[in-house]
Amino acid sequence: MIDSHAHLNLEDFDKDVDMVIKNAFENGVKSIIVIGIDAKTNKKALSIVEQYEGLYATVGIHPSVADDGGVETIVDYLSHPKVVAIGECGIDLHWRQDNLKQQLDIFDQQIRLAIAYDLPLIIHTRNSFAEAYQAVLPYKGKVKGVFHCFSSGFEDASKAIDLGFYIGIDGPVTFKNGKEAKDVATRIPLNRLLVETDSPYLAPMPHRGKRNEPKYLPLIVKEIALLRGLTLMEVIQQTTANAKQLFHLGD
């Protein structure tokens, strides 16, 4: 299994990141993509992944820090052999709506970098799928990536797939009230689905409310298999192949 989105570079893991990675490997997670969100965590992501086989990094500017700018700080990392994507980037209208212009500008700069460096995008959309979709639409066919931690409905998921993107499914697919997540995970083409934990956030049941870890990825995979009437191995094989294809990961 490949955890395609984990923030092992946050302070939540400062004291035990080595053990967290070890536990993930022992639970069948053979690769983890460590996601950067700002200058500090981009640098830290690389520091972590350089120590482990099977770990990769992304570098990006998250919409929550759009006011700080800083896209120029990621350029030096984009040729690093273990950097496999740009992001986490995108639009977030949950916490703030007053700086949408800045968010769109920073997002557009990262889309252009993704095209220039032939790297996929990790896109964040919280209360903002329409805005993020419209930002990517002019570049259809030129850029690829994943709408991570997908929280919209099947219709929006279909739009993202039509752009050539993947859909990231996380812990909420295991929640009793996660109806939209379950519907999307059931109905989208399996070859467009990625599995991710978004650690330390959104721990799947029965660990909801606790610190999430990559070792819980099998719980997400199991739920998707149940929803789709597939075997665990069928979901593992296809989602692993999807991640390898999108991020150009070697065996």
> What pLDDT sits at residue 86?
98
Tell me the residue range of the domain where 149 lies.
2-247
- Is pLDDT at 218 greater than 70 in this prediction? yes
Q: How many CB atoms lie within 10 A of CB 105?
A: 14
- CATH number, domain containing residue 226: 3.20.20.140
Q: How many domains does the chain have?
A: 1
- Is pLDDT at 250 greater than 80 in this prediction? no
Cα–Cα nearest to 126, from 94, 158, 174, 148: 94
- Is pLDDT at 143 greater than 90 in this prediction? yes
CA–CA dist 85, 111 (Å, integer): 11
Can you tell me the mean pLDDT for 135-147?
98
Can you tell me the mean pLDDT for 207-223?
98
Query: What pTM did the predictor assign?
Result: 0.96
- Is pLDDT at 251 greater than 70 in this prediction? no
- Is pLDDT at 71 greater than 60 in this prediction? yes
Residue pLDDT, tens place only, 23-47: 999 999 999 999 999 999 999 999 9
> What pLDDT sits at residue 61?
96
Can you tell me the mean pLDDT for 44-65?
96
Instruction: Report which secondary-structure segment, H or E, holds 168.
Output: strand 166-169
Cα–Cα nearest to 188, from 198, 177, 200, 180: 180
